């Protein structure tokens, strides 16, 4: 069942707990864990507290926080998920950034996906696989209450228009286990 939340600043957050069934979620988790070329990036001399991978066509490049991901094509196994997420979000996603949270020590700090190559007001969707983790959003001016969602395996969250302008989101360290997140974006500034 789709849950639509109006979270202020003309912003909509959509949560679909059963975007894919549990069998497909487990199969996809295992496939990605063992098939992707995961990389450990660094912010300066400090390792990023998670592993990442990226898929997009060769003309797509994504830069954030001093890191660069270059597209080399989209795995055919991922095309149905990219297509389904695009349809659900009413956006033509053309890239997938994967984050692998290996254990409770891995996280991603509060941020907005507001890089120039995403355009002025991007929609971003994230598919969660593996252990549940808490996804948190905070308004940039603390004008609205924080939003916390426990993202179950197989669930999709869609951050609608204005979300990247007015909200920061992140995954905190906690007692959760391994999780893979597929974040779907439309990159408009091509290489």
The DSSP annotation for 34-64 comes to HHS--B--EETTEEPSSEEEEEE-TT-EEEE
User: Tell me, what's the pLDDT at 175?
Assistant: 63
- Over 80: is that where the pLDDT of 189 sits? no
- Over 90: is that where the pLDDT of 86 sits? yes
Mean pLDDT confidence for 35-58? 90
Output the average pLDDT for the chain: 92
Domains of the chain listed by start with CATH number: 3-185 (2.60.120.590)
pLDDT single digits (tens) 136-185: 999 998 888 899 999 999 999 999 989 999 999 998 777 678 999 999 99
User: Tell me, what's the pLDDT at 172?
Assistant: 77
- What element of type H or E holds 22? helix 22-35
Point out which residues pair with 95 in neighbouring strands: 56, 185
pLDDT single digits (tens) 107-125: 888 889 999 999 999 999 9
């Amino acid at each position: 069942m789709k849950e639509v939340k109006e979270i202020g600043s003309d912003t909509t957050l959509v949560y679909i707990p059963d975007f894919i069934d549990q069998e497909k979620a487990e199969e996809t988790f295992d496939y990605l864990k063992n098939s992707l070329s995961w990389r450990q990036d660094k912010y300066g001399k400090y390792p990023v507290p998670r592993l990442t991978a990226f898929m997009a066509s060769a003309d797509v490049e994504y830069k954030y926080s001093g890191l660069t991901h270059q597209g080399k094509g989209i795995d055919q196994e991922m095309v149905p998920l990219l297509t389904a997420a695009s349809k659900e979000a009413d956006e033509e996603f053309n890239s997938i950034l994967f984050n692998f949270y290996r254990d409770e020590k891995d996280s991603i700090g509060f941020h907005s996906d507001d890089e120039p190559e995403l355009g002025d007001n991007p929609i971003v969707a994230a598919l969660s696989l593996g252990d549940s983790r808490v996804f948190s959003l905070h308004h940039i001016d603390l004008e609205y209450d924080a939003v916390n969602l426990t993202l179950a395996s197989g669930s999709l969250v869609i951050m609608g228009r204005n979300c990247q302008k007015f909200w920061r989101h992140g995954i905190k360290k906690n007692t959760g286990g391994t999780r893979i997140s597929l974040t779907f974006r439309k990159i408009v500034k091509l290489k």
